[in-house]
Amino acid sequence: MMKTRFTAVLLSALLLTACDNSDSTPAPDPRQQQEILSVKQLIYPYDRTVTLGGILDNRPDCIDPEWDTLTDDKGRELVRYRCDYTTAAAVNQINQQVEARYQRVLRDYTGILTKVTKWKPADMRTRTGANIEQTEKELGMIKTLSGYDWSPLRSEISTNNDHSFNLSLSGGKLWSRQPAKLTGEQKALVEQWNAVTEPLLYGQGSDIDRWFEDSSGVISALEKKLTDLKAVQAEEYLKGDNRRREDESALTRLLAELEAAHAEAKDWRITQELYWSVTGPDPVFMGGKFLVSDHTGQNELVPYSPVTRGPIRRGTEMLADIYGDKTGTDFYRNMLAFGLYMYQVKDIKVPSVNTLSY
């Protein structure tokens, strides 16, 4: 961690300060001032007509510049430049962008919570539910068909597509190879049968075929199957409702945490810092970063790209950004705004809610 390095001043100055009750600042360390001056006098190829100090001390996008010296955790002597990224234009745009992100995410998760809260187990669409519907449908048809006398057709019907029979029963539907050979009674019975089974879809009706071949035990077997399926469905409903309760609780917590972060979203101060090593004979630019100060303290602020939605650490590119007047652009402010939002919500855990289940 970087720590500020203070070089001892002359003993006489210390004695003078000890006897002076005024609020005057001690005289600056000449060596520190020389190190700072050596950096401020640098001329970079981005613009050879002006010194680095002339650029950094007169930025319209980052105000109240300060220069000091420090030593980093590797023992390097550094000159640090710091400024406040708090111009009215920057503050307004960043706050607008952050506010828009909060409003959007609060709206989206409120909508999801509403869907979860309104959901009922009966809304579930599962294979068990589909099997219950199909079994109930065929069982009801069989019970209806049981009320008719089909004996005039039995000698004419094949259930295995035997071409020696005039009628075939497949998928619960009757059809004739030679309708003209059917008697009037047989034709009426075929029409009656197909009127009952007309709602069947392709691939359905096998239980009806089986019942026609041998009716013994088919209805009781289907009723037991239906009971078993409903028991499975009741368990699925219970699990689904438990999941709903968990999701509802997690989403309620998420929204409360987002609202709390939103309430303090405008309480921030962004600063930019740049560093030069002055350990060697010539200053060397080490890069820079943004810092944000809020109710939690001061931490690094990593800009995020609104396009790729990923972090962007400019580091050693920051100097080129400043010379190129990029740091005062809308895009740069939007990157900082996105980064500020991500920083403010970094500790908020977003629950994994399968919205397709609701």
CA angle, 287 as apex, 308 and 82 as ends, to 5°? 105
> What is the spatial distance between Cα 267 and Cα 344, in angstroms, rounded to a whole number?
11
pLDDT at site 28: 55
Model confidence at 5, in pLDDT bands (50, 70, 90)?
very low
pLDDT at 13 over 90: no
Locate tokens 């705004």: which residue?
A: 337
**DSSP structure string for 67-118:** EEEEE-TT--EEEEEEEE---HHHHHHHHHHHHHHHHHHHHHHHHHHHHHHH
**Which tens digits make up the pLDDT trace of 232-250?**
999 999 999 999 999 999 9
- Number of other CB atoms surrounding residue 130 within 10 Å: 11
Specify which residues 288 forms β-bridges with: 274
Surface-to-core class of residue 158, CB atoms within 10 Å of its CB (0-12 exposed, 13-18 middle, 19+ buried): middle
Alpha helices in 264-307 (DSSP H): none
As a whole number of angstroms, the distance between CA 65 and CA 209 comes to 89
pTM: 0.74
Partners of 284 in beta bridges: 277
* Length of the chain in terms of residues written: 358
**Percent of the chain, pLDDT > 70?**
92
Q: Say which amino acid occupies 216.
A: S
Query: And the tokens for 114?
Result: 């509403």
pLDDT tens, residue by residue, 101-159:
999 999 999 999 999 999 988 888 889 999 999 999 999 999 999 999 999 998 889 88
Mean residue pLDDT of the chain comes to: 90
Dihedral sign, CA of 7, 8, 13, 15? positive
Q: Is the pLDDT of residue 91 over 60?
A: yes
